[in-house]
C-alpha cells in the first residue's frame, strides 16, 4: 500500500467482543448444552475491529468511538491503543459486550469442529448528546479517508458528527457500513456497504440483489457495494447502472464452516484504504473482496483475540468526571 497524506479515520460504535471457548459432551436436564470452558479471549468489536483491521493496511489509523469508563471500556482501550490512536467520545451507560460461546464435541460424529452455540450481549451504552471533543474535528480535518462503522449506538446520529461528515464527503472518500438500527448514510458517500440481508430488508419483498441500485439513489451515494459472503459483492451506482458482480477468486475461497465474523468490517476497511489512495470504486471493491476472503481463510475475527489485557492504570478522578 502507498503512503497516505493523512490518517484513515474510523468512526463509529465500539464493542468488547469475547470468545468463550470450551468443550461440550453432555447436556443438562432441560437439554441445554453444558460447556466446560477452557479459554476466554478478548478483541475489539464494531468500529474497534474495523480500525484494528485498517491498521494492517495503513500507517496511521485514528479511531473515534464512544467509550465508557468501566472496566470493559478500559479493556477495549488496552486492546486498541498499541495499533491505533483512540479518540474517546463519552458514552452514557456501560460498554456493550458480546460473548460468543463456542464449543466442540457437540456431536459424536464431529472431528473436533468448533461451532458457535450462543451469543450473550450485555451493556446499554449510547453516545452522549452534547459537544464532542475538539480532537474529533482535528482528526477528521486531517483524514485521507473515513470509514463510518454504524452499529446503532448513537455515533452516526449525533448532529455535530453528521455535520462534520457532510463537509468531508465533498473532498475525501467516506465509506459507510450501515446497520438496521443505525442512521441513514450522509449524501455523497463514496460507497455504502450493506450485506445482502440489510440491503434486501430496505427494498420491497419482491426485490432481488439486482434492485439494490435503488439504494444508491435513496441514499444519494456514489456507489453501493452489497457484500454477499462467499459470493463476493455486487456493486451498483451512478457508474454501474447495470450493476457489477465481483466474485471471490477460486484460490481465495474459504472452506465450508469457516468463521465469517468480521468479514464485513474487513471488506469496508480495505475499500476505504484503497479509495484513500485515489482509486475508484471498482478497484476498491475488487481489492476488498479478496481481503475479506483472505481474512476468513485465516480465522476471521477470532484470529485477533487475545487473553484479557492488563489495564495499566485506573482512570484518574479528573478523567472520570466526563464519563458520569
Query: What pLDDT score was predicted for residue 105?
Result: 86
DSSP-H helix ranges across the chain: 47-54, 71-80, 134-142, 159-168, 196-201, 213-219, 263-276, 281-297, 317-320
Angle 47-54/71-80 helices, nearest 10 degrees?
A: 20
Residue reference for cell 490512536: 85
Q: CA 205, CA 200: separation in Å to the nearest integer?
A: 8
Query: What pLDDT score was predicted for residue 129?
Result: 85
Q: DSSP letter string over 54-99?
A: HTTT-S-EEEEEEE-SSHHHHHHHHHHTTTSEEEEEEEESPPPEEE
Query: What pLDDT score was predicted for residue 246?
Result: 97
Nearest to 178 by CA among 201, 209, 208, 145: 201
Supply the residues annotated as catalytic: 265
Query: What pLDDT score was predicted for residue 319?
Result: 46
Contact 147, 272 (CB under 8 A): yes
Query: What pLDDT score was predicted for residue 316?
Result: 39
Query: What pLDDT score was predicted for residue 1?
Result: 44
What is the mean pLDDT, run by run of 10 residues, along the chain of 324 residues? 76 97 92 93 97 96 97 96 97 96 75 83 93 96 98 95 96 96 96 95 83 92 96 94 94 85 97 97 98 95 89 46 38
Query: What pLDDT score was predicted for residue 74?
Result: 95
Query: What pLDDT score was predicted for residue 312?
Result: 55
Contact 263, 132 (CB under 8 A): no
Q: CA 223, CA 237: separation in Å to the nearest integer?
A: 4
Amino acid at each position: 500500500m502507498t503512503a497516505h497524506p493523512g490518517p484513515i479515520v474510523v468512526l463509529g460504535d465500539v464493542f468488547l467482543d469475547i470468545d468463550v471457548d470450551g468443550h461440550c459432551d453432555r447436556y443438562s436436564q432441560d437439554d441445554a448444552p453444558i460447556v466446560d470452558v477452557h479459554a476466554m479471549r478478548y478483541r475489539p468489536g464494531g468500529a474497534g475491529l474495523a480500525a484494528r483491521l485498517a491498521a494492517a493496511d495503513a500507517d496511521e489509523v485514528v479511531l473515534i468511538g464512544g467509550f465508557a469508563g468501566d472496566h470493559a471500556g478500559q479493556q477495549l482501550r488496552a486492546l486498541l491503543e498499541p495499533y491505533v490512536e483512540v479518540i474517546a467520545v463519552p458514552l452514557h451507560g456501560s460498554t456493550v459486550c458480546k460473548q460468543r460461546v463456542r464449543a466442540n464435541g457437540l456431536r459424536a460424529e464431529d472431528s473436533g469442529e468448533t461451532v458457535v452455540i450462543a451469543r450473550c450481549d450485555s451493556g446499554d451504552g449510547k453516545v452522549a448528546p452534547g459537544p464532542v471533543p475538539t480532537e474529533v474535528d482535528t482528526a477528521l480535518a486531517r483524514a485521507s479517508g473515513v470509514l463510518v462503522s454504524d452499529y446503532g449506538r448513537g455515533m452516526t446520529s449525533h448532529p455535530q458528527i453528521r455535520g462534520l461528515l457532510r463537509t468531508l464527503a465533498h473532498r475525501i472518500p467516506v465509506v459507510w457500513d450501515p446497520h438496521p438500527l443505525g442512521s441513514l448514510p450522509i449524501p455523497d458517500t463514496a460507497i455504502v456497504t450493506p450485506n445482502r440481508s440489510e440491503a434486501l430488508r430496505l427494498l420491497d419483498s419482491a426485490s432481488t440483489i439486482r434492485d439494490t441500485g435503488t439504494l444508491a439513489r435513496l441514499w444519494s451515494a456514489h456507489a453501493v457495494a452489497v457484500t454477499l459472503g462467499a459470493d463476493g459483492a455486487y456493486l451498483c451506482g451512478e457508474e454501474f447502472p447495470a450493476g457489477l458482480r465481483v466474485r471471490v477468486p477460486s484460490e481465495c475461497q474459504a472452506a465450508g464452516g469457516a468463521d465469517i465474523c468480521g468479514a464485513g468490517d474487513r471488506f469496508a476497511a480495505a475499500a476505504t484504504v484503497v479509495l484513500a489512495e485515489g482509486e475508484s470504486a471498482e478497484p476498491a471493491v475488487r481489492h476488498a473482496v479478496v481481503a475479506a476472503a483472505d481474512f476468513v481463510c485465516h480465522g476471521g475475527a477470532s484470529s485477533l483475540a487475545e487473553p484479557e489485557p492488563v489495564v495499566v492504570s485506573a482512570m484518574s478522578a479528573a478523567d472520570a468526571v466526563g464519563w458520569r
